[in-house]
Amino acid sequence: ETQALIEDRFSSLGMTMMTLTQFVTVDSIASVYLPLIRQNPWLMFYFVPLILVVSISLMNLVTASLVEAALEHARQEKEEEKKLASVAAKNMLPDIVKLFDQLDADRSGFLVIQEMKDFETEGLVPPELLDKASVESMSELFQQLDVDESGRVNREEFIEGLLDIFLREVPVYSIQATKMLRLVRESQLKVEADIRSLQDQLGTKTERSLGFF
C-alpha cells in the first residue's frame, strides 16, 4: 500500500509538486501522510512541521498580506475623500458667506430666527440648502446652528455649522453634542476661575480679620 502510494503521489516531479500543493491548500492531505506515518512513524517529524509551516503559516501570511492591502486601500480612499471634502469646502465657502450676508438683513453680524423665517417667507432659500442640511425649514436649521441656545448665530458659527453639516458624514445631533461639550468645558473653566477668585478674596478678608484682632 505504501509503495503504491509513493508511486502514485511521488512518481515524478510534476506529481510531487501536485502533492505538495495539496499540503499548501490542505486538500485531503490525510490520505497522503497517514499511510506513510503508519509505515514509518519517524516521518511524523517531517509531515507535522510541513503542515504547520507550509499550510498554516503560509496561508496566514497570504491572509495578512490581503488584509494589509485592503487596509492600505481604505486609507488611501479616506485620504482622497478628505482632499475632495477640502476642495468642496473651498468651493462652498463663498456661497455660504454670501448666504449669511443675505440672511443678515440688519447687518448686525448676527442672525436671529426671525431673519431666517423672513428669508424663507420671501422664497429666497436656495432649493438645495434644506435638502443638504436634512431639515424642513429655516427655523429648524437655525435651531441646529444655535448650539448654545443664545438666540443668535454669528458669522463663524453659521459658516462652521453649515460646513460641518454638509461635509461630515455624521448625524447633526453628534455635531451639536460636540459643540455643546465644548461650551460646557468653557463654562466649567470659567466657573473654576471664579471659584479661585472668590477663594482668594475670602483668604484676604480672613487675613485682615485676624490681623485686626
For the segment 56-65, what is each residue's pLDDT rounded down to a tens digit? Answer: 777 788 888 8
| Residues 164 and 96 placed together within one structural domain of the fold | yes
**Range name among 90-99, 107-116, 189-198 with the lowest pLDDT average:** 90-99
Within-domain flag for 198: no
**Distance in angstroms (rounded) separating the CA atoms of residues 102 and 119:** 8
Cell matching residue 66? 490581503
CATH of the domain at 136: 1.10.238.10
Summarised one tens digit per residue, pLDDT across range 131-184 is 777 677 788 788 778 877 788 888 888 888 888 777 765 555 665 676 677 677
Q: Which domain holds residue 139?
A: 87-185
Instruction: Give the pLDDT mean for 206-213.
Output: 57
Q: In this structure, which amino acid lies at residue 151?
A: G
Instruction: Give the pLDDT mean for 106-124.
Output: 84
Q: In this structure, which amino acid lies at residue 112?
A: V
Q: Which residues contact 8 (CB under 8 A, 6 or more apart)?
A: 15
| Residues 142 and 181 placed together within one structural domain of the fold | yes
Within-domain flag for 200: no
| Residues 64 and 98 placed together within one structural domain of the fold | no
| Residues 156 and 92 placed together within one structural domain of the fold | yes
Within-domain flag for 191: no
Per-residue pLDDT band at 101 (split at 50, 70, 90): confident
Within-domain flag for 212: no
Within-domain flag for 168: yes
